[in-house]
Amino acid sequence: MTERPTQLWGGRFSSGPSEALRRFSRSPERYFSLAPYDLQGSRAHVRELNRAGLIDDAELALITTAIDELTADVLTGATQPIEADEDVHTFLERELIERLGPLGGKVRAGRSRNDQAANDLRLYLRDQARTVAALLVGLIDALADQAERSLDLPVPGFTHLQPAQPVVFAHQLLAHAQPLVRDLARLRHWDERAGVSPLGAAALAGSTFSRSPETSAAELGYAGVAENSIDAVASRDVPLEFLFISSLAFVDLSRLCEEITMWASVQFGWIRLDDAWCTGSSIMPQKKNPDIAELARGRAGQVLGDLVGLMATVKSLPLAYNRDLIGDKHAVLDAVESFELALPALTGLVATFTPNAERMRADATKGFTLATEAADWLARRGVPFSEAHEVSGAMVRYCEERGIELHEIPESALAGIDERLTADVLPALTLEAALAAHDATGGTAPARVAEQLTRVRAAVAAFRTWIDAYDGPRF
Residues involved in catalysis: 160, 281
- The CA–CA distances, whole Å, from 284 to 61, 289, 290, 378, 474 equal 66, 11, 15, 53, 47
Following DSSP, what letter does each residue of 7-20 receive, concatenated?
Answer: -S--TT-SSPPPHH
Q: Are 335 and 246 in contact (CB under 8 A)?
A: yes
Beta-carbon contacts of residue 374 (< 8 Å; ≥ 6 apart): 388, 391, 392, 395, 406, 425, 428, 429
- The CA–CA distances, whole Å, from 391 to 381, 414, 425 equal 13, 10, 12
Beta-carbon contacts of residue 462 (< 8 Å; ≥ 6 apart): none
Q: Are 129 and 242 in contact (CB under 8 A)?
A: yes
- The DSSP symbol for 165 reads E
User: What are the φ/ψ torsions at residue 14 (nearest 5 degrees)?
Assistant: -85, -15
Instruction: Work out whether strand 354-355 and strand 271-272 pair parallel, antiparallel, or are unpaired.
Output: antiparallel
Following DSSP, what letter does each residue of 306-334 receive, concatenated?
Answer: HHHHHHHHHTTPPSS--GGGGHHHHHHHH
Report the C-alpha gap between 236 and 238 in whole angstroms.
5
Following DSSP, what letter does each residue of 448-466 receive, concatenated?
Answer: HHHHHHHHHHHHHHHHHHH
Amino acid present at 21: L
Report the C-alpha gap between 339 and 303 in whole angstroms.
10
SS3 of 221, please?
coil
464 CB-contact burial (10 Å; exposed 0-12 / middle 13-18 / buried 19+)? middle
Q: Are 99 and 110 in contact (CB under 8 A)?
A: no
Cα 153 versus chain centre, distance: 29
Report the C-alpha gap between 276 and 356 in whole angstroms.
18
Report the C-alpha gap between 345 and 341 in whole angstroms.
7
Report the C-alpha gap between 463 and 286 in whole angstroms.
42
